[in-house]
A and B are shown apart, each in its own frame.
Chain A
């Protein structure tokens, strides 16, 4: 990896999700040198795990492909996947980042033919599908993954399976001796786009995510709609594979709750409204959706979408935060208990499947940033002079939907460009 040229006019983008890609492209397309670091083996982040966007209900694959093509076509961007920033030192205009690159065990010869995956037997939890199914030990995270290059799971190294993968490759692409590397790169400015992670639903004890099979999270529900996802695009219950026609959504699962996340995660209302259309898409008039909410936060133009869902006779809204969920042992149905706010009626409603609209939290823990940075109580990065030439983009700065994350990323790219322009002027 010694072929990476970086100077203090380079912009380092940490995180290759939709925000990181956007920031990198905006900077690179005005002629700046960009290094993009991504922890996972592919770029695209959590957007690549979505079935549809709200409110247009179009497919994220479309926009992702455009961005991937822009990235591939741009000579100013260097992408490092399976890489993490372990240390960052310096100040605006002069940073040195230490980057750890984990071995992929597959080199640039790879044609993504898949022979290695066919040859190996070992299987591991599939993190792309939130561990709902298994993947092979030699794998491509998903069909559209960029770079289009397989990965050999490091847990296979030293086993017969790893050797089988190597033997199956006709292009000499499998390199079992590849080692972890640590490199240092210079940068003038840093765009921090490390994104979000779904709040751990196990912590919401009364909802029984850890003990009731048919209580799942919104991100898992999203994966079920993917034709290549864990259920092959079927909306079924995890416990018995039965069609999930009567689906309940629980809003603010973890958000707006001082016991869990204090902030409103902003996206979950629209995500559940969107997902209510998935049930109709699969089951038409047999669909029966219930949305349990405190209040629906569909702001400005999203209100049109909210009204459309309200007009759907198969969707009902129950103004109540569910108190607890118990499983009906006979049929596996989760039963939701609570009291509604419109009449104070006590209910115990059974559903086929319950989806927890889990909140967003920053994917980097407050105390583990490699450089001193201002974060708020929730761990999101504040815009602050003290951050020098480090600018947060997308969900590392707040709970944002894709639209607003991209806006935030463009703003950060502009700030970073100003820093490296100042460096360029000073150096003449």
Chain B
């Protein structure tokens, strides 16, 4: 367990709803859920979630802290916004799902092998480097996400699409070395650093 996690457990003992309200983006909406179930029924990936949104909200109120934060459920959200559109109480459900995932990550207790989480991390690392997404490296990293042997398999399977993209100039081999960047790369990195400092200061309070 990370120190932040232990600290939060200490601070909010038995009141996970309060913890969510204070720390999760849009978390103050959770108490507004009236358990009608439209979000769960409307989610295109709903059948694949361990706990659909409606159940997550009830679990939060019931204080099931570990079950919620270690769950893979909110990582399944694809941001289709169907739940937000249909929620009779206009809860920003998509944002709450991402908020929960982000909070779990901050505490270091997120499910490490969840593929969406892995991809999100790869995407961030890739983007934060040059200020631009290097699609070639993102693809390569993604293929080898689950080890070298599997990576080769996936790469071979995707070869046709890759060649097609090269032909259509949607992908450039030049990206393998360096790749394109924003104009002021140093400035960009300084900005990210500052934002991270501000966020860390906010979270610690």
Q: Report A's interface with B, CB cutoff 8 A.
A: 206, 252, 256-259, 294, 320-324, 337-341, 344, 346
Separation of A206 and B42 alpha carbons in the complex (Å) = 9
B88 and A322 within 8 A (CB): no
* CB of B46 closer than 8 Å to a CB of A: yes
Binding site of A, secondary structure by majority: helix, strand, loop or mixed? loop
B90 and A258 within 8 A (CB): yes
A322 and B40 within 8 A (CB): no
Q: Known: A323-B42, A324-B42, A346-B47. Is A341-B37 also a contact (CB below 8 A)?
A: yes
Q: In the complex, how many angstroms separate the beta carbon of B35 from the nearest chain A beta carbon?
A: 5
Chain B residues bordering chain A, tally (CB within 8 A): 19
Q: In the complex, how many angstroms separate the beta carbon of A255 from the nearest chain B beta carbon?
A: 9
**8 Å CB contact of A259 from B41, B55, B88:** B88
**8 Å CB contact of B55 from A323, A338, A344:** A344
* CB of B36 closer than 8 Å to a CB of A: yes
Q: Known: A337-B41, A338-B41, A340-B37. Is A323-B54 also a contact (CB below 8 A)?
A: no
B88 and A344 within 8 A (CB): no
B86 and A259 within 8 A (CB): yes
In the complex, chain A residues whose CB is within 8 Å of the CB of B46: 339, 346
Separation of A322 and B86 alpha carbons in the complex (Å) = 11
Q: Known: A294-B36, A346-B47. Is A339-B89 also a contact (CB below 8 A)?
A: no
* CB of B34 closer than 8 Å to a CB of A: yes
Q: Known: A339-B46, A346-B46. Is A256-B41 also a contact (CB below 8 A)?
A: no
In the complex, chain B residues whose CB is within 8 Å of the CB of A346: 40-41, 46-47
Separation of A426 and B87 alpha carbons in the complex (Å) = 56
In the complex, chain A residues whose CB is within 8 Å of the CB of B90: 258-259
**8 Å CB contact of A258 from B52, B55, B88:** B88
A323 and B88 within 8 A (CB): no
* CB of B127 closer than 8 Å to a CB of A: no
**8 Å CB contact of A256 from B37, B55, B88:** B88
B37 and A338 within 8 A (CB): yes
In the complex, chain B residues whose CB is within 8 Å of the CB of A339: 37, 40-41, 46, 52, 54
Q: In the complex, how many angstroms separate the beta carbon of A268 from the nearest chain B beta carbon?
A: 14
B54 and A341 within 8 A (CB): yes
In the complex, chain A residues whose CB is within 8 Å of the CB of B37: 320-321, 323, 338-341, 344
Given contact pairs A322-B38, A339-B40, a sample of 6 additional A-B residue pairs in the complex whose CB atoms are under 8 Å apart? A258-B88, A259-B88, A320-B37, A323-B42, A338-B38, A346-B46
Q: In the complex, how many angstroms separate the beta carbon of A377 from the nearest chain B beta carbon?
A: 15
- B36, B38, B55, B88: residue with the most chain A Cβ atoms closer than 10 Å: B36
Separation of A2 and B38 alpha carbons in the complex (Å) = 58
Separation of A214 and B75 alpha carbons in the complex (Å) = 38
Q: In the complex, how many angstroms separate the beta carbon of B14 from the nearest chain A beta carbon?
A: 23
In the complex, chain A residues whose CB is within 8 Å of the CB of B89: 258
Separation of A341 and B58 alpha carbons in the complex (Å) = 10
Q: Report B's interface with A, CB cutoff 8 A.
A: 34-38, 40-42, 46-47, 51-52, 54-55, 85-86, 88-90
B86 and A206 within 8 A (CB): yes
Separation of A297 and B36 alpha carbons in the complex (Å) = 14
Separation of A165 and B110 alpha carbons in the complex (Å) = 79
In the complex, chain B residues whose CB is within 8 Å of the CB of A344: 37, 40, 51-52, 54-55
Separation of A322 and B41 alpha carbons in the complex (Å) = 7
Q: Considering only CB atoms, which chain B residue lies closest to A293 in the complex? A: B36
B52 and A323 within 8 A (CB): no
A323 and B38 within 8 A (CB): yes
Separation of A324 and B88 alpha carbons in the complex (Å) = 14
Q: Considering only CB atoms, which chain B residue lies closest to A344 in the complex? A: B55
Separation of A320 and B88 alpha carbons in the complex (Å) = 13
Separation of A344 and B51 alpha carbons in the complex (Å) = 8
Q: Considering only CB atoms, which chain B residue lies closest to A258 in the complex? A: B90
Separation of A337 and B35 alpha carbons in the complex (Å) = 16
Q: Considering only CB atoms, which chain B residue lies closest to A341 in the complex? A: B35
21 A–B contacts from the bound complex (CB under 8 Å): A206-B86, A252-B88, A257-B88, A258-B89, A259-B85, A259-B88, A259-B90, A320-B41, A321-B37, A323-B37, A323-B42, A324-B41, A337-B41, A338-B37, A338-B38, A339-B54, A341-B35, A341-B36, A341-B54, A346-B40, A346-B41
B34 and A323 within 8 A (CB): no
Separation of A214 and B51 alpha carbons in the complex (Å) = 32
Q: In the complex, how many angstroms separate the beta carbon of A335 from the nearest chain B beta carbon?
A: 12
Separation of A410 and B14 alpha carbons in the complex (Å) = 53
Q: Considering only CB atoms, which chain A residue lies closest to B83 in the complex? A: A323
Separation of A320 and B40 alpha carbons in the complex (Å) = 10
Separation of A257 and B52 alpha carbons in the complex (Å) = 20
In the complex, chain B residues whose CB is within 8 Å of the CB of A252: 36, 88
Q: Considering only CB atoms, which chain A residue lies closest to B42 in the complex? A: A323
In the complex, chain A residues whose CB is within 8 Å of the CB of B34: 294
Q: In the complex, how many angstroms separate the beta carbon of A342 from the nearest chain B beta carbon?
A: 10
In the complex, chain B residues whose CB is within 8 Å of the CB of A322: 38, 41
Separation of A298 and B90 alpha carbons in the complex (Å) = 26
- B41, B52, B86: residue with the most chain A Cβ atoms closer than 10 Å: B41
Q: Considering only CB atoms, which chain B residue lies closest to A206 in the complex? A: B86
In the complex, chain A residues whose CB is within 8 Å of the CB of B86: 206, 259, 323
In the complex, chain A residues whose CB is within 8 Å of the CB of B38: 321-323, 338
In the complex, chain B residues whose CB is within 8 Å of the CB of A257: 88
Separation of A325 and B37 alpha carbons in the complex (Å) = 14
Separation of A346 and B42 alpha carbons in the complex (Å) = 11
Q: Considering only CB atoms, which chain A residue lies closest to B34 in the complex? A: A294
A-B residue pairs, 3 tightest by C-beta: A323-B41, A338-B41, A321-B36
Q: In the complex, how many angstroms separate the beta carbon of B197 from the nearest chain A beta carbon?
A: 38
- A258, A321, A346: residue with the most chain B Cβ atoms closer than 10 Å: A321
Q: In the complex, how many angstroms separate the beta carbon of A289 from the nearest chain B beta carbon?
A: 20
Separation of A339 and B89 alpha carbons in the complex (Å) = 17
